[in-house]
Amino acid sequence: MDWDNARIFLAIYRKGTLRAAAGMLEIDQATVGRRLNALEKSLGARLFLRTPSGYLATPAGELAVTAAEAMEHAALQFQREMQGIDNRLSGSVRVTTSDTMAHHFVIGAMRRLHERHPEIRIVLSTSTEITSLTRREADLAVRTLKPTSPDLITRHLTRRSMGLYATPEYLKQRGMPTPGNGLAGHDIVIYQAAVAFRHQEKICLEPVNNARVAIEVNNGLALQEAARQGMGVTELPCHMADVDPRLVRVWPERVDHYDVWLVMHSDLSRSARVRAAADAIIDSFPAT
């Protein structure tokens, strides 16, 4: 099995369909199917069961995963090490962060990076999913969770505050919440459990057991907009909500905190373009 076939096999294994694997690899779906058929023929084994719900690995396929992932690890390590000694201020840098971090900090940092080094091409992805830097899904990440992998370098960027917010119209109609009663009599706007499970139990340290969930969303800008539309009380970063003319602070004395981290793979720390992007992000956050 060569690496090109191995990466196609792994993409199908991880994504479950030829179409999704093709999208991940940025190649044609028919090519993925042909390469899989050729791989199975060369190995003399069926690697996947074709089912209505997708491609499921056979016992032979499950055994092949270990070998394919070892090849992937070696190939990506080689790629990272070669990029790590690249002194050119040109080429692509993949950055991942949340939508709110991108809006308030990261895009501004990338604009300044582009002004200084116009030959660097930024590929920015916004998602609440934890992107794998080890698999080169990104070169840099701005996260609110500090990873524990020894292969990753982390830098603390800032500590931010969160509070509770709602519209003046909502509070006029429903009244100010009473601390300690689980937000009884109030609607709340929260993250979906897959994004922030803690919202199922508390927002800004206040239990929500007596509240009615009006809407669950999967990103921060939607959270803010739902609160702006008067759908209920929500937890938002203070740097976002304090300057929003459509929102007011509920219980100004109540505050929670979160940390923001810049993360990169240690193999990329010597890459000039990755280092330049990292420095631009660091400069966009106030010193703490």
| DSSP sequence for 58-100 | -HHHHHHHHHHHHHHHHHHHHHHHHHHT---S-EEEEEEE-HH
Task: Please give the chain's pLDDT, 288 residues, in tens.
Answer: 677 888 899 999 999 999 999 998 889 899 999 889 888 888 888 999 999 889 999 999 898 898 888 888 777 776 656 655 567 889 999 999 999 999 999 999 999 999 999 999 999 999 766 666 656 678 899 999 888 888 788 999 999 999 999 999 999 999 999 999 999 999 999 999 989 999 999 999 999 999 999 999 999 999 999 999 999 999 999 999 999 999 999 999 999 999 999 998 877 777 889 999 999 999 988 765
pTM reported for the whole predicted model: 0.67
Q: Chain-centre distance of CA 230, in angstroms? A: 27
218 & 164 share domain: yes
Residue closest to 157 by CA, chosen among 248, 280, 8: 280
**Tell me, what's the pLDDT at 133?**
67
203 & 75 share domain: no
Phi, psi (rounded to 5 degrees) for 78: -60, -45
36 & 79 share domain: yes
Query: Could you tell me the CATH number of the domain that includes residue 102?
Result: 3.40.190.10
Query: Last residue of some domain: 50, 67, 84?
Result: 84
182 & 124 share domain: no
14 & 137 share domain: no
**Tell me, what's the pLDDT at 274?**
92
14 & 72 share domain: yes
Partners of residue 262 on adjacent β-strands: 142, 155
Query: Last residue of some domain: 84, 111, 135?
Result: 84
Give the position of tokens 């690697």.
Answer: 47
224 & 278 share domain: no
**What's the total number of domains in the chain?**
3
237 & 269 share domain: no
Q: Name residue 258's amino acid.
A: Y
Q: Distance (Å, rounded) from C-alpha 15 to C-alpha 270?
A: 32
Query: Last residue of some domain: 67, 84, 101?
Result: 84
Strand 187-191 relative to strand 212-217, pairing: parallel
115 & 57 share domain: no
279 & 141 share domain: yes
Range of the domain at 130: 92-154+259-284
**Tell me, what's the pLDDT at 181?**
95
264 & 249 share domain: no
Phi, psi (rounded to 5 degrees) for 95: -120, 135
223 & 275 share domain: no
**Tell me, what's the pLDDT at 129?**
67
Query: Could you tell me the CATH number of the domain that includes residue 18?
Result: 1.10.10.10
Cα distances from 226 to residues 6, 216, 248, 287, in angstroms, run 44, 9, 14, 31
**Tell me, what's the pLDDT at 88?**
84
**Tell me, what's the pLDDT at 137?**
77
